[in-house]
Amino acid sequence: MREKNKPYPEQFRLQMVELVKAGRKPRELAIEFGCYETRVSPASWGPKSL
């Protein structure tokens, strides 16, 4: 897992948004990319990404 309080790079966040919009599940992306599921869920994106 990542170090606490370090933000994910913008490119990583955009990639997660696109993968979830394409139908991938946040849980499987979290496992695949080694991050927390809550950071991949739509609730964490904010209005800009939706």
Higher-pLDDT residue of 36 and 45 is 36
* pLDDT tens digits along 26-41: 899 999 998 888 877 7
In terms of DSSP H, where are the helices of 1-50?
10-21, 26-33, 37-40
pLDDT at 44: 67
pTM exceeding the 0.75 threshold for the entire prediction: no
- Residue 43, pLDDT > 90, answer no
Share of residues in the chain with pLDDT > 90 (%): 20
Q: Who contacts 26 (Cβ-Cβ below 8 Å, separation ≥6)?
A: 20, 37, 40, 41, 42
pLDDT score, position 7: 77
